[in-house]
Amino acid sequence: MIEKHRIGNFLILFLGLVLFEACDSKPQEGQIENQGAGQVIPDEKKPVFKFKETSFNFGTANEGEEITHEFEFTNEGKSDLLISNAIASCGCTIPEWPKEPIPPGKGGKIKATFNTTGKSGQQHKVITITANVKSKNAELVIEGEVFKKEEKNN
C-alpha cells in the first residue's frame, strides 16, 4: 500500500514537471519574442529601426528653457516594430514614444524634452530605446550648451 502511494506521488510530480517545462518555452538562439503577441520572430523577419538622425545638437539655450526634439524613424524590417521602453540618462529628459505597433514600411516619432533648469555648461543626454529589434536598443542623443541665468544678461 505504501509503495503504491509513493509511485502515485512520483507520477504526479513527474507530470507536473513535464507540464511546467512545456509551458516555459523560450525563443531559440537567433530569435526574439514578439512582445505582446508571444510569437517568435526569425532573424530575417525582425523589425529594423531606421532613424532620420540619432543625434540632435540644440546649440545654446538659457537655463530654465525646455528643449524639445522629435526623432523620426521608419520600420525597415518585415514584422511589426514594438517599442517597449525609452529611458533617458537623466531625469531632466523625458522621452515619449509610440505605444502601438509600427508596421513594416511605416514610421513614427520619439519625442524628447530636455528641461535645462539647474543645468549649465555642455550637456549630453542619451535616450535608450528598447524594442523588439535584433540589437534590442537604439540610442538617441540631445546635446548642446546651457548658459546659467546670470550669464544670459551679459
Q: Are strands 39-42 and 137-147 parallel, antiparallel or unpaired?
A: unpaired
Strand partners, 129: 86, 138
Do 76 and 28 sit in the same domain of this protein? no
95 pLDDT above the threshold of 80:
yes
User: Domain containing 133 — which CATH number?
Assistant: 2.60.40.10
> Does position 44 have pLDDT exceeding 90, yes or no?
no
Determine the structural domain holding residue 147 and report its residue range.
44-153
Are 16 and 55 in the same domain?
Answer: no
- Biggest CA–CA distance in the chain, Å, is 95
Are residue 52 and residue 25 in the same domain, yes or no?
no
Domain count of the chain?
2
Q: Which three cell numbers stand for residue 46?
A: 525582425
Would you say 71 and 54 are in contact if contact means Cβ atoms under 8 Å apart? yes
Q: How many residues does the chain have?
A: 154
Residues 70 and 6 in one domain: no
Assess whether 22 and 80 both reside in one domain: no
Asked whether residue 27 carries a pLDDT value surpassing 60, the answer given is no
User: Does pTM surpass 0.95?
Assistant: no
